[in-house]
Amino acid sequence: MSWILVVLFALLSGYLAYLLLKQKGPKHEKETEDVKNLVFSLSGAYRAKELKVISAALADDFSAFLDSPYRIDNKRNFIALLENFFDEATLDERSVLQEKFTAWEGGWVLATYHFIEKGKMGEKPFERSGKASELFRSTPTGWKAVHFHYTYLPSKESGMASGRV
């Protein structure tokens, strides 16, 4: 009789574990899908030079690592850097490639991807590519970017410094 109780308890435990795992799966899928949509939306906003859209998606305690100026410790300085870049550049394309999104309990999602940008600095065409890691957290007002890390690969025939935002 005791071995029947042990087997029943094991089956019940296994079923409860299955239900817990099943319950967590869709939540992470929704989180990663929400952040994926935000990443692609931000890429479009970057191409369209929509600073208000980009600024609204950044957390107040935002930080970034770039090739140059290396480290940015607040949202205001990052937006100022983008504004200067947008004054000089025209972007024809910004593509997000080979993306991967990983979510954790507590409302955190890491987005990693390769990107390609094509456009002009003044009248001179440029093309550059790189790798990005972006960390997002869930807030009461939606997903916010907490940290960006961009590494630019050497530019193709552009004469443009690869480390520019």
List, for residues 56-79, the tens digit of each pLDDT value: 999 999 999 987 768 999 999 999
Q: What is the pTM of this model?
A: 0.76
Where in the sequence is the domain holding 129, given as residue range(s)?
25-152
Please name the helix (run of DSSP H) or strand (run of DSSP E) that holds residue 85, with its range, or none: helix 75-88
Q: Does 144 reside within a domain? A: yes
Question: What type of residue sits at position 136?
Answer: F
Q: Does 74 reside within a domain? A: yes
Q: Does 71 reside within a domain? A: yes
Q: Does 48 reside within a domain? A: yes
Distance CA 46, CA 133 (A): 16
Q: How many domains does the chain have?
A: 1
CB atoms within 10 A of CB 57: 19
Q: pLDDT band for position 104 (50/70/90)?
A: confident
For residue 12, what pLDDT is reported?
Answer: 46
Average pLDDT score over the chain: 83
Cα atoms in the 13 Å half-sphere on the side-chain side of 149: 5
Q: Does 162 reside within a domain? A: no
CATH number, domain with residue 32: 3.10.450.50
Tell me how far CA of residue 60 lies from CA of 57, 77, 133, in angstroms.
10, 11, 18
Q: Does 91 reside within a domain? A: yes
Strand order in 142-152's β-sheet? 71-72, 58-65, 142-152, 124-139, 108-121, 89-104
Q: Does 84 reside within a domain? A: yes
For residue 153, what pLDDT is reported?
Answer: 86
